[in-house]
Amino acid sequence: MFTSKKNLRLIDYQDSYYYRQQRKKRRNQWLKLSLFLIFIALMALFIVPFAQSHPLLVNEQIPNSSHKDYIQGPQLIFEHPNPAMAATFPVDIEANVDINGLVAYAEIKQTFINPHAVELNGKYQFPLPDNSAVKHLMIKIGDKEIEGEIMERNEAKAIYQKAKSQGKKASLLKQHRPNLFINEIANIPANSTVIVTLKFIMPVSYIEGKFNFSLPLAITKRYKTKSLNKVFNEHLATPMLIKQPNLRSVALSQASINITLNAGIPISDIFSDSHKIHSQALNSTQSTYFISLESTKVNATKRFNLSWQLFASEQPQVSSFSQKVADEYYTLLTFFPPKSEVAKAIARDIIFIIDTSGSMQGQSIEQAKTSLHRAILQLNDKDSFNIIAFDDEAELLFPITKMATKQNVENAKMFIEHLRADGGTQMYRPLSNALLMKKNKKQSTKAIRQIVFITDGAISNEFDLMQLINNSMGNFRLYTVGIGSAPNGYFMKKAAQFGRGSYVYIQDQNQVQQRITDFMTKISRPAISDIELIFDNQVHQKIEVYPTRITDLYFGDPLQIAIKSQLPITSIQLTGVTASTAWYKQLIIDDQQMSKGISSLWARRKIESLLDSLVEGANKQTVKSQVIATSLNHQIISPFTSFIAVEKQEKMTSLFAKNDLTQHQKSKSKTVQAHESLLVAMPQTSLGWQLQLFVGIALIIFARISDYFSFASKYLKIASRNEKHY
């Protein structure tokens, strides 16, 4: 049906439901924006004066770390009045290392900034290599340097607490674990830079034909234990590791590493499986190199590893390094074994002791039986052997050792198969039986008595056992094989040390066959046994050599000996026995091969020997006094001492010195500037944050206005289209 135009009605779309809702929505938006602006204005009026009086209340934007397997280290936290603001801060690390032979002497500088506008106390933990010995501590706070010294632990703590309460700058360095240190620093001035310099020595490891130096730059999650938290945070308002959400890392710590490597003999290859490195030869003999990172700095998120190999030799090689400290001389000898391809097996009279007590039930006894079975199969026709199984009592396979004939080996297999784990753990009797057991008459008189002790070490009379081993007069070697998930590492290591042998742990059942095969091959072929050092007695009246019990030199396993003398040593006669003949070497000491840290290494070995002397019946108080004296004389941390550094009383400052100080404060060093570049996400409490706040507010307002005009533009376009259509 057609409708005339006069019946049509003009509809005002501005009054439609849709547009009424849009207008209502815009009014609400403007209302919200107005309320938001009023809120921001009130907050600004409140925050500015409050923040000026409470500079610790800042807004932090912390990046998330992708390295979930590590807690970024070293970890630094400041004690401040507001626990909610607890945060870890980055530490700039600079490492300079001298490696001579098997000794690394490292200087580590750790730089950080107190970013707050108030004086605070700080505490941080940092990793160092296993078996490292810290021997120097220097703290530079602003323009002031304080040097640490070793003191008895309780005395050092008391001095630190007193200095802290008096407002003095002080530092207390404690060794919490062999590879974890805690440093407390008191009264760090506002906005000041702190540089902690540590010097330490550590041994270089040798594994599967490669020398390895390893420097930890981060702390792994395995340190996150309640006991550590308790120790580390005993004075902090907020626990550092337990309440993780409040303790976010503001930036990654960075590290630079430079190494001078002097092996003493030619090096064939240098490489790193952790970082990209650059190496440069420093002499024509290819024995000394300078190694640096390809990048100037790297994020401190993983351990740095450096490995190198030496040119193979068919004869044992010995390098020597020397050091003079005060009026005493120190010499370090490093024995390098020849190529293993030329090795010959020696005749052995070997006794296996296997633990079948109740603690070995389950996987442990199965691992032990498998280990023993593999060891028996590796005997040769030159060997004689026996097996002793023990729990409450000892059970012997043979009354005396017998030659490793096919029949005797088969009898041993049957004996092993019927072993069961039960009863108590009485190690003294089987060990005594092995030490006193008669040797088979068919065996060569030159055969070395070897005792292989397979156990989880779940004993309480370690002291008695080590006394038994120490007091035994026979020419024997004791080797320990640790079985199970948690073998008694202390007993394993010390028993092998007193017995001039070595030890191995086998925790993974899948590794039993390979580990035992490698271990038995190693002890069957010592490169040199019965090593002795002969000095000129007319020249050297008083010489101290550590270790006091020199172990055999095995293929693939270097040996190190530290010596102290009153006069410089120019030559040493070395004697020993190889598989085929006697060994002799006249060693001329190269007085050009000087090295840092030898005296510290010697002192560390002496302290260990003093503690071991308790087994021989030494007086405990006498040993403690001697350990403390050695620690103080050589300034290395021991179980009874700590590093303490306290600010000394200032002398009157001259006007000239004050002017220099003013100039120093105005100018920033390159180190500080480089460190501050790491602090992009760090709170800047007195660097114009109010301006940044209002710029942010302006940007928010601008975004809101932009949204409104965008919406208005779309609305006008729609209205225009509708008007044209109708």
pLDDT tens for residues 316-354? Answer: 888 888 999 988 999 999 898 887 655 677 788 999 999
pTM (2 d.p.):
0.62
| Pairing between β-strand 394-396 and β-strand 317-325 as defined by DSSP bridges | unpaired
pLDDT score, position 86 = 60
pLDDT score, position 400 = 93
Spell out the domain ranges in the chain.
5-52+688-725, 70-310, 317-341+528-634, 346-524
Strand arrangement of the beta sheet that strand 317-325 belongs to: 317-325, 328-336, 559-565, 543-546
- HEC per residue, 439-479: CCCCCCCCCEEEEEEEECCCCCCHHHHHHHHHHCCCCEEEE
pLDDT score, position 149 = 82
What's the sign of the alpha-carbon dihedral 391, 392, 396, 397? Answer: negative
Residue 616 has pLDDT above 60, yes or no: yes
Q: Does domain 346-524 have CATH number 3.20.20.150?
A: no
pLDDT score, position 239 = 31
pLDDT score, position 537 = 77
333 φ, ψ (degrees, to nearest 5):
-105, 135
- Among left, alpha and beta (phi > 0; psi -120 to 50; other), residue 650 is beta
pLDDT score, position 236 = 31
Residue 195 has pLDDT above 80, yes or no: yes
CA gap 487, 722 in Å, rounded:
86
Residue 654 has pLDDT above 80, yes or no: no
What's the sign of the alpha-carbon dihedral 663, 664, 665, 671? Answer: positive
Query: Considering only the top CATH level, what class is 317-341+528-634?
Result: mainly beta
For the record, the structure tokens of 660 come out as 């220099």
Residue type, position 295, single letter: S
Residue 486 has pLDDT above 70, yes or no: no
User: Which range among 135-144, 183-192, 575-584, 713-722 shows the weakest confidence by mean pLDDT?
Assistant: 713-722
**Does the fold of domain 346-524 match that of domain 317-341+528-634?**
no
pLDDT score, position 57 = 31
- The residue assigned the tokens 């490492």 is 95
- HEC per residue, 673-721: HHHHCCCCCCCCCCCCHHHHHHHHHHHHHHHHHHHHHHHHHHHHHHHHH
Q: Which of 548, 593, 576, 524 is nearest to 315 (CA)?
A: 576
Residue 249 has pLDDT above 60, yes or no: no
Q: How many CB atoms lie within 10 A of CB 50?
A: 10
pLDDT score, position 710 = 54
CA gap 49, 123 in Å, rounded:
30
pLDDT tens for residues 125-175? Answer: 777 776 677 778 888 887 788 888 888 888 888 998 998 888 888 888 876
CATH code for the structural domain at 70-310: 2.60.40
pLDDT tens for residues 13-55? Answer: 444 544 566 666 677 767 767 776 776 666 555 444 433 333 3
What's the sign of the alpha-carbon dihedral 67, 69, 74, 80? Answer: positive
- Three-state DSSP state, 101: coil
Tell me the mean pLDDT in the region 267-284.
92
For the record, the structure tokens of 387 come out as 């097996």
Q: How far is CA 194 from CA 111, 267, 572, in A?
A: 6, 39, 47
pLDDT tens for residues 410-433? Answer: 999 999 999 998 888 788 889 999
Q: Are 352 and 454 contacting, i.e. CB atoms less than 8 angstroms apart?
A: yes
